[in-house]
Amino acid sequence: MSALHANLHGNLHEMGVAELSRALTKKSVSSVEVTTHLLARVATHEHLGAWLCVDAGGALKQAHAADAARAQGHVGALLGIPLAHKDIFVTRDLPTTAGSKMLKGYQSPFDATVVQRLTAAGAVTLGKLNCDEFAMGSANENSAYSSVKNPWDITRVPGGSSGGSAAAVAARMLPAATGTDTGGSIRQPASFTGITGIKPTYGVCSRFGMIAFASSLDQAGPMARSAADCALLLSAMSGFDERDSTSAQRPPQDYAAQMLKARDGANSDQPLKGLRIGLPKEFFPAALAADVNGAVQAALAQLQRLGATLVDVSLPRTELSIPVYYIIAPAEASSNLSRFDGVRFGHRAAHYSDLQDMYKKSRAEGFGPEVKRRIMIGAYVLSHGYYDAYYLQAQKLRRMIADDFQACFKNQCDVIAGPVAPTVAWKLGGQGDDPVAAYLADIFTLPASLAGLPGMSLPVGFGEGGMPVGLQLIGNYFDEGRLLHTAHAFQQATDWHQRAPVLADEATT
């Protein structure tokens, strides 16, 4: 093997989607070589807890097929690119657990639309990634299988609920992965692990085959190292699906092209000239950690240097998004999770006296504490006598939160920016038994979720303990192209997204 070849192979895990795609097109590397290299890396970093299932045999078969397709002249940005899916997407060939004991050993008869589309685009599936049980959580500590460690500091959480996806991409086990975001589960783990993720507008990616948490909020999206790589995945994942009744009826989108499209009046020094970035004062409260604020302010200054102007705006109901979300999401969850009854899916208690007892025992054994808490809250706020006081009131406020964003986008700004989370990633076990502490930390991601708006997180620096800090960008409906364009311009001028954690077993002395 030539020195150049050896060097290239040593660095295969450093390459993102676009770079790998170019190497595959030039045939300087094969999908089988990349897949083999990454599978070895996955095996070495098992201690991070990112994976719930690894399918080496299946992945190599897909990689061979991708190489054969390329040899026959087939092309495609994702042809032969290794990926993996959050274990909330059902897969025909691999088990799906949703991070729950309830679905241990469950095998779906079909693939989720997102999985099917990425597979059809030629992506190679390495396996399934750990997540909080039914995507409920902010630290991946609610998984029934194992916690996930943050590759930047293994004593800290990777964020959640897409914690396995974030850790695997950050630790360079994968160039990209899928995630889902109901109240921040793509953006917050991306921020905590120094990667880039986008939650598109509600309805852009099909929810078919995504195990439902809160159906009016759930949305799939890509998690990768750069905006450019997210754009490639999103183009393949998104699009109308008649099997999801809330899927947006729009023609297929080329997000990579939208990302590159020059703004009117822009030039190479000032690619963001004319872009108005709104800074909601409620996103910069006194309680915001100084390290997070510092990195975010430096990123905003960088965006200004790229031509953007900063304007002060207000989202007055930001704080209310916490109680509103933590009424609506559990309400929908209590309804969605009623299907797990020990009859049609998953776990059934071994011993019971009658049907009622079987339901009770199966659910008591199958669900973890956070899921049970949410089912109870949801059943309560939907119950007769409380529905008007809680659920209906929350729905009214949800509309007002969405209206507040529209007031900003109408004539004040084109995108909104702020922190993703009030602090950097906290210590494993750091929130002890205090679920409300975790709920409060969702304050900056919940508003866009409730409004159904697209939001993304991109790495912009480091804070306390050397932990990554993310910048959140929120756009108007279907304005993913502008978010990606803004993030891409930032990433062309900076290298935060290229910083990789030094994993313990790789440290050189």
d(CA 469, CA 455): 16
Closer CB to ligand GLN, 183 or 368, in the complex:
183
Closer Cβ to ligand GLN, 137 or 151, answer by number: 137
Closest to ligand GLN by CB, 294 vs 422, is 422
Residue 147 C-beta: closest distance to ligand GLN, Å: 15
| Smallest separation, CB 443 to ligand GLN (Å) | 11
Q: Cis peptide leading into 161, omega within 30 of 0?
A: yes
Per DSSP, the three-state class of 417 is: strand
Residue 329 CB, shortest distance to ligand GLN, in Å, is 5
What is the DSSP-derived secondary structure letter of residue 390?
Answer: I
Out of 67, 141, 181, 414, the only residue in the binding site for ligand GLN (CB under 6 A) is 181
Cα 51 to Cα 154, 183, 243, 302, 358, distances in angstroms: 15, 22, 29, 36, 31
Does 182 participate in binding ligand GLN (rule CB under 6 A)? yes
Stretch that binds ligand GLN, among 96-104, 117-125, 176-184, 424-432 (CB under 6 A): 176-184
Contact segment (CB under 6 A) with ligand GLN among 36-44, 183-191, 232-240, 271-279 equals 183-191
What's the closest the beta carbon of residue 450 comes to ligand GLN, in angstroms? 11
Kindly list the strands in the beta sheet with 82-86, ordered across the sheet, starting from the edge strand earlier in the chain. Answer: 51-54, 124-129, 82-86
Determine, following the binding rule CB under 6 A, whether residue 185 of this chain makes contact with ligand GLN: yes
Q: Which two tokens stand for residue 443?
A: 């304050």
x-or-dash string of contact with ligand GLN, 198-237, rule CB under 6 A: ---------------x------------------------
Binding of residue 184 to ligand GLN (CB under 6 A): yes
Number of residues that bind ligand GLN (CB under 6 A): 13
Q: Which is nearer to ligand GLN, 70 or 86 (CB)?
A: 86
Shortest separation between residue 21's beta carbon and ligand GLN, angstroms: 29
CA–centroid distance for 99 within its chain: 15
338 flagged as catalytic = no
> Candidates 109-117, 177-185, 252-260, 473-481 — which segment interacts with ligand GLN by CB under 6 A?
177-185
- Confirm if 273 and 256 have CB atoms less than 8 A apart: no
Binding segment for ligand GLN (CB under 6 A), chosen from 39-47, 78-86, 179-187, 278-286, is 179-187
CB of 119 to ligand GLN, least distance (A): 23
3-state helix, strand, coil in the chain (%, to 5): 45, 15, 40
Q: Distance (Å, rounded) from C-alpha 316 to C-alpha 268?
A: 36
Q: Which of these is catalytic: 86, 128, 199, 361?
A: 86
Q: Which is nearer to ligand GLN, 221 or 459 (CB)?
A: 221
The residue sitting closest to ligand GLN, measured at its beta carbon, is: 185
CA distance 498 to 16: 10
The rounded distance, in Å, linking the Cα atoms of 335 and 341 is 12
Read off the DSSP letter of residue 479.
-
CA 254 to chain centre: 20
Under rule CB under 6 A, residue 404 binds ligand GLN: no
30 part of the active site? no
The answer to whether residues 138 and 188 touch, using CB atoms and an 8 Å cutoff, is: yes
Helix/strand/coil for 179: strand
Using CB under 6 A as the binding rule, the residues of this chain from 322 to 381 that contact ligand GLN are 329
Site for ligand GLN in 430-449 (CB under 6 A): 442
Please report how close the Cβ of residue 138 comes to ligand GLN at its closest, in angstroms: 4
Quick count: other Cβ atoms within 10 Å of Cβ 468? Answer: 26
Q: Verify binding: residue 87, ligand GLN, rule CB under 6 A.
A: no
Closer by beta carbon to ligand GLN, 122 or else 197: 197
Q: What are phi and psi of 458, to 5 degrees?
A: -135, 145
- C-beta closer to ligand GLN: residue 120 or 436: 436
Q: Residue 224 or 329: which CB sits closer to ligand GLN?
A: 329
219-224/415-419 β-pairing: unpaired
Alpha helices in 85-240 (DSSP H): 113-120, 163-170, 187-193, 227-237
Identity of the residue, 76 or 184, whose beta carbon is nearer to ligand GLN in the bound complex = 184
DSSP one-letter string for 139-175: SSTT-SS----BTTBTTB---SSSHHHHHHHHTTS-S
375 φ/ψ angles, rounded to the nearest 5 degrees: -65, -40
Phi-psi category of 433—alpha, beta or left, where left has phi over 0 and alpha has psi -120 to 50? Answer: alpha
Residues of this chain, 123-142, that bind ligand GLN according to CB under 6 A: 135-138
| Catalytic residue of the set 161, 206, 226, 238 | 161
Looking from the CA of 25 toward its CB, the CA atoms found within 13 Å total 10
- Least spacing, CB of residue 136 vs ligand GLN, in Å: 5
Q: Is 62 in the site for ligand GLN (CB under 6 A)?
A: no
Of 337, 283, 321, the closest CA to residue 449 belongs to 321
Query: Amino acid identity of 38?
Result: L
* 108 is an interface residue for ligand GLN by CB under 6 A: no
Cα separation, 484 vs 489, in Å, equals 8
* C-alpha to C-alpha distance for 65 and 32, rounded to whole angstroms: 9
Q: Is 183 in the site for ligand GLN (CB under 6 A)?
A: yes
| Residue from 31, 147, 162, 185 carrying the catalytic annotation | 185
Residue with smaller CB distance to ligand GLN, 49 or 183: 183
For residue 312, the SS3 value is strand
As annotated, the active-site residues are 86, 161, 185
Residues that bind ligand GLN (CB under 6 A): 135-138, 161, 181-185, 213, 329, 442
